[in-house]
Chains A and B, each alone.
Chain A
Amino acid sequence: MRRSHPLVVGAVLVGLICILAVVSFFWTPHDPGLVDASIALQPPSRTYPLGTDGFGQDIFSRILVGARICMLVGVMAVTIGALLGVPIGILAGMSRRHVGRRIMRWADIFYAFPALLLAILLAAANGTGSTMTAMIAIGISSIPAFARVANTASRSVMSRDFVAAARSSGIGWTAIAWRHVLPNILPVVLVQVSSALGRAILAEAALSYLGVGTQPTTPTWGRMLYDAQKFVYDHPAQIAVPAVFIAITVLGFNLLGDGLREALDPRLRQEA
């Protein structure tokens, strides 16, 4: 931990984005939805800290409000993925070897199915994309990754003596899953949660960019990217702002995940 502080840097970046999202509920410099063509494409100034976009909307206000969707979709998607994926992984890890393998092969097949494709399918089935379809699609497609991580970890927990000791005391399978397997795989799951948040946020941005996620008028970073790309030659700063915020968020969660892995893995800790 002396060499670098991925945990600290990650936590600071993620904390920053969370603060933006929270602040947006109480205060934004301007109405993020107010369209005023007379002030379109202004450079950063004292009134408009990050300038205005092609509709004359304040970019900074939209970034603040956009942080909400970004966090909402990320957290909900990862919750769906973890709540469904972890039990599947534990179940597969605790069941007979060939049954567990069969479950995991199915998980692997779904792993190959891209989140974007699923989101587009859901959006098509629903008539139009929405924040909800984006959350569900990203959530479902993060299930296999959680199942895999939970499966490997619970398999190794199951082979440890204390599980045999618990079984030799007559403790049933459900109790072993709850009280012995889950607490022991929690650190690994936590690391997965953090990196899955990064991926979910990236996927959310991609979906809004493609127009199959959250619909316009609600500011999202992905949509801002799409709106700004028309001006990429004349006003490159327009595209840089949402891009930088997306990058910061994803980087923050990935660093947080790496830092957690380092902090929670006793073998890595000894080396540090």
Chain B
Amino acid sequence: MGALLRIRDLRIGFGRAEALHGIDLTVGEGARVGIIGESGSGKSVTALATMGLLPDTARVSGSIELGGRQLVGLSDTGFARLRGDVVSMIFQEPMTALDPTMRVGRQVAEVLRLHQGAPAGRARERVIEMLSQVGLPDPERISMSFPHQLSGGQRQRALIAMALINQPELVICDEPTTALDVTVQARVLRLLDEQLDAAGAACLFISHDLAVVSQVCDEVLVMYRGTIVESGPIAQVLENPQHPYTAGLIATARIDQIEPGRPLPVIENFWDGKEGRP
């Protein structure tokens, strides 16, 4: 399997501060890579840099190669051609990621027509097909609905349809289930899993939730303050964390193993913030 996304020594700065201190990561074709870390660790910035959605004020150096194309320094027009076609993104908040003034079907069709130039009638057929494929009941009605008429889970499914309708090679998921409640979360994750397989798309999955990442991904990267502290196959990282920060993350996620009355573990119990600092 060749590498689809290859990031080398990526540094991103805002003003005087540097948010990302030179990270390396590789996503193979069809691979599922998770990035895990706390807020401010640089995981979202990495995703935005890959999409070309960073604000103008960001300084970017290093290299991001997607399917052999260099993305660092690419113009916005250049990026626009790739977005939605080769690479697409699923956002965290399904409540706000759909335009409230536009019918859902039209929003999905917009992406399709933009990149494939499909005529309106054919686009509509394909949109309905896609909506039913992501498990939305009565896709005809949903395509004519406005976002506020749908539930959170339905909206997230519509967003997944939007992201996958052009069968992109890479889908970036930025905490796609964080805003959903746990029962809906499990169903949406399963759907995402199936749809990624069906499209043969690779996935860069960003989350702070270990359980969610382990459900979708094969590989995981742990980020902390703009660096990658650990990476490897998911099972290996979970069973045998090499970095104390990772060990802390895993322990804090397993609150079911804490005896009642005992204090909850925090990262500081495992890591003083100095040892193993890259």
**Chain A interfacial positions (CB closer than 8 Å to B):** 96-97, 160-162, 164-172, 175, 179-180, 183-184, 186
Contact = CB atoms under 8 A, between A and B. Distances in A.
A165 B91 contact: yes
Contacts of B93: 161
Most chain B C-beta atoms within 10 Å of own C-beta, residue among A161, A162, A169, A180: A169
B80 A170 contact: yes
Interface of B: 51, 53, 56-57, 77, 79-85, 88-89, 91-93, 96-102, 110-111, 114-115, 159, 162-163
The 4 lowest CB-CB distance pairs between A and B, nearest first, are A169-B84, A170-B84, A170-B83, A183-B101
B162 A183 contact: no
B191 to A, nearest CB: 18
A165 B88 CA distance: 9
Contacts of B92: 161
Contacts of A179: 99, 102, 110
B159 A165 contact: yes
B148 to A, nearest CB: 10
B101 A161 contact: no
Contacts, number: 77
A231 B7 CA distance: 84
7 contacts: A161-B91, A161-B96, A167-B51, A169-B114, A170-B81, A170-B83, A170-B84
B83 A167 contact: yes
Contact of B98 (A96, A162, A172): A162
A84 B99 CA distance: 25
B98 A165 contact: yes
Contact of B88 (A160, A168, A172, A186): A168
Contact of A97 (B56, B77, B97, B114): B56
A160 B96 CA distance: 7
Contact of A169 (B77, B96, B111): B111
A123 B98 CA distance: 49
Given A161-B91, A165-B159, A171 B99 contact: no
A172 B53 CA distance: 13
A168 to B, nearest CB: 4
A169 B162 contact: yes
Contacts of B163: 169
Nearest to B159: A165
Nearest to B56: A96
Given A164-B53, A165-B159, A165-B162, A171 B97 contact: no
A171 B107 CA distance: 11
Contacts of A164: 53, 89, 91, 97
Nearest to B108: A169
Contacts of A169: 83-84, 88, 110-111, 114, 162-163
Given A160-B96, A161-B96, A168 B56 contact: no
A97 B55 CA distance: 10
